[in-house]
């Protein structure tokens, strides 16, 4: 685990700035080149290259049978992917936007998540469901939802979300290679974030399910993932001026959940704030806070706090800045930790 304060560490070799979108596209390409069973399907993934251009060039390189424009029907896309996986393929499904994935929810929870269990291991479904999620891009309604809590509540699914260019490549490769279904949440706000990244020596990621400490600190731990990681890193830098030395943990995987890394960090710092965009009530933060309390109660100097989106339907774009947790809201929570501790 690195104590680097920079989210995007440079890599040795031929590195140049690359975006998360490029790294995701490269991960798809490399997976398809390596394994002929990998098929990409979804609305607009072929000729157009996806509305975010993640699948750009795949249909040309691998043919329309491997990167397939489907009819506009999310349940049909995922349902067909189930049958394809039953016949030995490894489908990678693109759901165009977070809220567009909801029509496929029944296929996901009733079949994708359950087939291994239902058939007692005889028929695992190696499906990756790519879902661009989260706000901050000025999208109108149904284009900015944070849907991770729904997926986390479904046993049988892995739920992962990268926050760095490195992880975007490595986690997507790992997800496609996994014999279990993975909901791969892509923080679309970070699609155009850049980092020095070498496609020639791409990252190897630890098995799905490991969190990583992005910044070491002693005063408190910020626990976050995906689009909120840069916010937390910025907050941690700013907190230095107040004399607070914050640790930042990037979960990377929401299911499975890395209790060990989170608990070890909070035991060191004694204080924790969970930060995410999705609604607080019934959201991932409640589960994470409960886990921390169960494991670290005697180490805690203050209650575990949550900084989350409001419990409202995602607001129209001209108001979203009020909804999304920003640096100030994170720092306010950190200040409350200090107050609760009586300092």
Active-site residue 143, yes or no? Answer: yes
Tokens of 62: 């691998």
- Cβ at position 315, least distance to other proteins in Å: 29
User: Closest approach of Cβ 93 to other proteins, in Å?
Assistant: 11
Which residue out of 39, 111, 143, 323 is catalytically annotated? 143
Check binding of 178 to other proteins (CB under 8 A).
yes
What's the CA angle centered on 255, arms 19 and 26, to 5 degrees?
25
Number of C-beta neighbours around residue 335 at 10 A = 13
User: Phi and psi dihedrals of 308, rounded to 5?
Assistant: -135, 175
**Which strands make up the sheet holding 158-160, listed edge to edge?**
67-69, 38-42, 90-94, 128-133, 182-187, 158-160, 253-255
CB 68, min distance to other proteins, A: 9
Closest distance of CB 108 from other proteins, Å: 11
Q: Using an 8 Å Cβ cutoff, are 236 and 248 in contact?
A: yes
Interface residue with other proteins among 115, 165, 307, 333 (CB under 8 A) is 115
**Sole binder of other proteins in the list 143, 158, 271, 306 (CB under 8 A):** 158
Tell me: does residue 121 bind other proteins (CB under 8 A): yes
For residue 61, state whether it binds other proteins (rule: CB under 8 A).
Answer: no
Near other proteins by CB under 8 A: residue from 256, 282, 313, 316: 256
Between 79 and 303, name the residue whose CB sits nearer to other proteins.
Answer: 79
Contact by Cβ (8 Å): 245, 275: no
Chain centroid to CA 63: how far? Answer: 29
Does residue number 295 form part of the binding site for other proteins (CB under 8 A)?
Answer: no
Q: For the segment 297-336, give every residue that binds other proteins (CB under 8 A).
A: none
CB atoms within 10 A of CB 148: 26
Q: Give the contacts of 211 (CB within 8 A, at least 6 positions apart).
A: 249, 250, 251, 252, 253, 258, 261, 262
Based on its alpha-carbon atoms, the radius of gyration of the chain, rounded to whole angstroms, reads 20
Binding span for other proteins by CB under 8 A among 50-58, 232-240, 258-266, 268-276:
258-266
Binding site for other proteins (CB under 8 A): 39, 65, 70-71, 73, 75-76, 78-89, 91, 103, 106-107, 110-111, 114-124, 155-156, 158, 178-180, 209, 255-260
Query: Which residue numbers are catalytic?
Result: 143
């Amino acid at each position: 685990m690195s104590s680097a304060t920079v989210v995007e560490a440079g890599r040795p070799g031929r590195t140049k700035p690359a975006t998360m979108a490029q790294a995701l596209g490269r991960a798809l390409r490399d997976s398809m080149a390596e394994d002929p069973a990998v098929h990409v399907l979804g609305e607009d993934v072929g000729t157009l290259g996806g509305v975010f251009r993640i699948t750009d060039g795949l249909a040309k390189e691998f043919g329309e049978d491997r990167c397939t424009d489907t009819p506009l029907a999310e349940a049909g896309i995922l349902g067909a992917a189930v049958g394809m996986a039953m016949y030995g393929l490894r489908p990678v499904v693109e759901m165009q936007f977070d809220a567009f994935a909801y029509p496929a929810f029944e296929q996901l929870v009733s079949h994708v998540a359950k087939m291994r269990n239902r058939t007692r291991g005889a028929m695992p479904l190696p499906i990756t469901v790519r879902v661009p999620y989260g706000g901050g891009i000025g999208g109108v309604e149904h284009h900015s939802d944070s849907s991770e809590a729904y997926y986390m509540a479904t046993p049988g699914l892995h739920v992962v979300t990268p926050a760095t260019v490195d992880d975007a490549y490595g986690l997507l490769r790992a997800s496609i290679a996994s014999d279990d279904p993975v909901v791969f949440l892509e923080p679309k706000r970070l699609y155009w974030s850049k980092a020095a990244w070498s496609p020639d020596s791409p990252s190897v990621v630890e098995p799905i399910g490991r969190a990583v400490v992005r910044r070491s600190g002693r005063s408190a731990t910020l626990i976050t993932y995906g689009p909120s990681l840069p916010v937390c890193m910025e907050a941690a830098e700013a907190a230095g001026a107040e004399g607070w030395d914050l640790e930042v943990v990037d979960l990377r995987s929401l299911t499975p959940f890395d209790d060990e890394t989170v608990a070890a960090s909070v035991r060191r710092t004694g204080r924790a704030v969970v930060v995410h965009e999705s609604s607080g009530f019934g959201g991932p933060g409640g589960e994470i806070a409960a886990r921390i309390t169960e494991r670290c109660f005697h180490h805690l100097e203050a209650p575990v706090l949550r900084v989350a989106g409001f419990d409202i339907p995602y607001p129209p774009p001209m108001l979203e800045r009020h909804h999304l947790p920003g640096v100030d809201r994170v720092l306010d929570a950190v200040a409350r930790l200090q107050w609760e501790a009586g300092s």
